[in-house]
Amino acid sequence: MPPSSFPTRQLYYDGKLWPASSGKTFESIDPSNATPLAEIQVAAHADIDAAIAAADRAFSSWSQTPPIARARILQKAVALLRERNDEIARVETLDSGKAFTETSTVDVVTGADTLEYYANLVGGGGLNGETTQLREDAWVYTKKAPLGVCAAIGAWNYPIQIALWKSAPCLAAGNTLVYKPSEFTPLHAQTLAEIYREAGLPAGVFNVVYGAGDVGAYLTAHPTIAKVSFTGQVTTGMKVAGSAAGNMKYVTMELGGKSPLIILPDAELDNAVDGAMMANFYSTGQVCTNGTRVFVPASMKAAFEQRLLEKMQYIRPGPLFDDATNFGPLSSAIHAEKVASYIRHGIETDKATLLFGGLGKPSVPKELEAGFWVRPTVFTNCTDDMKIVKEEIFGPVMSILSYETVEEAVERANTTELGLAAGVFTKNLNLAHRIIDQLQAGITWINTWGESPADMAVGGWKNSGVGVENGRRGIEAWVKNKSTLVDTNGAIATVFAKL
Ligand code: NAD
């Protein structure tokens, strides 16, 4: 394979590509075989200033474009995304290492769905305010105003989906955007910019800069930026929120988790095992909402583990464009090392029981052996104080924790500083609702795991985030409120009248 299969990526702002002035580049790597895919130009401060200035110039006209006219442009982009689904999914697979069976059915699809959702919402009056009659001759009316130039910073696990989950409500609400994808998965950004342009989005409304944390830090601290929407690790999110606080910027923080999945004694065994596997091994475990702490009743543990071991055989690493492959490599060498170090810690220091997997690579064809593969791994007999149970690993590592009573399971499930997702498997729906009500997490599931449709607002509690994405509530993160009290009485109720 040639050193790079894609043309060098330049920055995109003011409706066109621009060479970065830094003179620096980085490489995007195919995680399945460790070969370079493309050179990406790194934005210098002057380039980021230029992208922000383009977004600033575009704001007054875009924000005043009627919502229905904005919606029509975004709908065209939805159609283009769907038309080009497999082509975009192919790039996502090469860039992120996710199997094509996933990227072609989930990544582009769920991104386009969200764009369609927000185009429909604002086109149908979703940005209208409220009117309240205070008394016969006085009213309050409210207006939802766009915020201005916004910044979006993405993680590497769902590249185009994250770009769309942020840009869809942002642009629909009348804001303009400067987007920085993760330096590990940057390739989708130019395609999305081209699609928006082809759909008729005016120059400067959607802009792209590339680089690592320093580029993100400059962007988020910039005084012209009105809002930062961030997806990434808790520790990075804390830095970004801290920097945004300097200018009272609005923030949305979509951060990490260590989510509990509670199986009740009456749960259907196969469903519980399938749910736990989807919650740990889908996307090679690189899903923020993964249910990595699997609470199993002590009475059910042996049966659960036996069925799980049978089904672990259905995890199929392999060539990413093979229809049978349902498990890819991790997204980068550095991340694969991090996940392996957690597996090592689980074995050597935490001394959890290794039920399946462990260190080393799964068996893959010879041409993929240099890729960033790790083995799907299950630890059992875990305890709450183990590092592998407490910290987000963000890889295919399940921890099984047994419990005696439901009250105990709920209390232990909540003993964490994170609160992204949680779920319960049971036939007793009354009990399921009671348990869900007690779980401290923003995204919860009953008898299922992981589905996150456009109309479901999702966001973390505790250190897992601030605000939500998607759903009706998601648009509120991209507007500010103005309340106006109008009095038609004609006389001012003054206290400064003559006695
Ligand atoms: P990361 O925090 O390392 O990087 C995320 C982004 O932040 C990258 O684009 C990076 O370049 C940028 N960045 C790094 N330092 C920065 C700084 N100081 N200022 C501004 N930007 C900076 O996260 P990651 O490893 O790419 O992603 C994995 C994490 O993302 C996991 O913790 C996962 O749970 C989380 N995640 C959360 C959600 C959610 O919706 N809650 C979704 C996907 C991923």
Give the pLDDT band (50/70/90) at residue 4: low
Token reading at 184: 């590990």
Segments in 313-371 forming alpha helices (H):
333-348
Task: Check whether 333 has a pLDDT greater than 50.
Answer: yes
Beta strand segments in 58-195, E: 131-135, 138-146, 149-153, 176-180
d(CA 213, CA 207): 18
Task: Check whether 3 has a pLDDT greater than 60.
Answer: no
Map residue 446 onto helix, strand or coil.
strand
Confidence at residue 343, expressed as pLDDT on a 0 to 100 scale: 98
d(CA 114, CA 257): 23
d(CA 343, CA 9): 36
pTM: 0.97
Give the pLDDT band (50/70/90) at residue 146: very high
Any ligand 1 atom below 6 A from CB of 288: yes
Confidence at residue 241, expressed as pLDDT on a 0 to 100 scale: 97
Q: Which atom of ligand 1 is closest in space to residue 153's alpha carbon? A: 9
Any ligand 1 atom below 6 A from CB of 155: yes
Ordered domains of the chain (ranges, CATH): 11-255+464-483 (3.40.605.10), 260-446 (3.40.309.10)
Q: Which atom of ligand 1 is closest in space to residue 154's alpha carbon? A: 9
Task: Check whether 68 has a pLDDT greater than 70.
Answer: yes
Confidence at residue 414, expressed as pLDDT on a 0 to 100 scale: 98
Mean pLDDT to the nearest integer, 27-52: 98
Q: Which atom of ligand 1 is closest in space to residue 240's alpha carbon? A: 19
What CA–CA distances, in Å, run from 490 to 135, 484, 487? 14, 17, 7
d(CA 37, CA 187): 9
Give the pLDDT band (50/70/90) at residue 5: confident
Q: What is the pLDDT of residues 484-496, one digit of tens each?
A: 999 999 999 899 9
**Can you say whether the dihedral through the CA atoms of 462, 464, 466, 467 is positive or negative?**
negative
| Gap from CA of 101 to ligand 1 centroid (Å) | 25
Map residue 481 onto helix, strand or coil.
strand
| Gap from CA of 429 to ligand 1 centroid (Å) | 36
3-state secondary structure 197-240: HHHCCCCCCEEECCCCHHHHHHHHHCCCEEEEEEECCHHHHHHH
Task: Check whether 2 has a pLDDT greater than 70.
Answer: no
Mean pLDDT to the nearest integer, 19-32: 98
Token reading at 92: 């996502």
What b-and-e string marks burial along 269-289, b requiring 16 or more CB atoms within 10 Å of the CB? Answer: eeebbbbbbbbbbbbbbbbbb
d(CA 375, CA 313): 12
Angle of the 301-312 helix axis to the 269-281 helix axis, nearest 10: 60
Find, among 262, 297, 233, 281, the residue nearest to 398 by Cα.
281
d(CA 418, CA 322): 36
- For the chain, the average pLDDT equals 97
Mean pLDDT to the nearest integer, 115-133: 98
Any ligand 1 atom below 6 A from CB of 154: yes
Confidence at residue 385, expressed as pLDDT on a 0 to 100 scale: 98
Q: What is the pLDDT of residues 168-201, one digit of tens each?
A: 999 999 999 999 999 999 999 999 999 999 999 9
